[in-house]
Amino acid sequence: MPITLEEIPGLNATHQSCWQVRALAIDGKSPALAALDAWASSSSDDYKKILKVLRMVGQFDRIHDETKVTKSADPDHGDVYEIRAHKGHARLFFFYSKSDESVIVCTNSFWKGKGSQSAAFALCAKLKALFLRAQHESQSR
């Protein structure tokens, strides 16, 4: 089952001066890109708020404003983060990957009020583990 990193439309080289920003895809499906697509058509305000922060995270080592980026408070989740649409409902989850290249990998999404934020963080952690395992297996071949 191929695991790939997809470019995110709307981000250019200026927005990725420190980190490349990508969306994780498994077998040709990217939950992060699907969420952005859904928000762009149904929740324009939330989409723009997420896009604004997506354009920022790639330019700095870390984002200091917790209204924009928050790390999971659960130590079991490890280092996984959420991009927040401040005063909105959309949340996009990601992790930092520093192997061959510095990459921010966007994994899944959450809509505040629908489901569990903790479960969404946990899902991001599982997707991160899958990505790192696949990357390791690929490098071992």
Q: Does 9 bind other proteins (CB under 8 A)?
A: yes
CB of 55 to other proteins, least distance (A): 6
| Sites for other proteins among residues 91-130 (CB under 8 A) | 108, 119, 122-123, 126-127, 130
Asked if 83 and 72 touch (Cβ cutoff 8 Å), the reply is: no
Q: β-pairing, 81-84 with 20-26?
A: unpaired
Q: At a CB cut-off of 8 Å and minimum separation 6, what does 114 contact?
A: none
Q: Does 76 bind other proteins (CB under 8 A)?
A: no
CB of 90 to other proteins, least distance (A): 13
Per CB under 8 A, the segment of 30-38, 71-79, 91-99, 110-118 that binds other proteins is: 30-38
CB-based burial, 74-94: b 16+ in 10 Å, e otherwise: eeebeebbbbbbeebbbbbbb
Q: By the criterion CB under 8 A, which residues form the site for other proteins?
A: 1-14, 20, 22, 25-31, 33-34, 36-37, 40-41, 47-48, 51-53, 55-56, 59-60, 63-65, 67-68, 86, 108, 119, 122-123, 126-127, 130-131, 133-135, 137-138
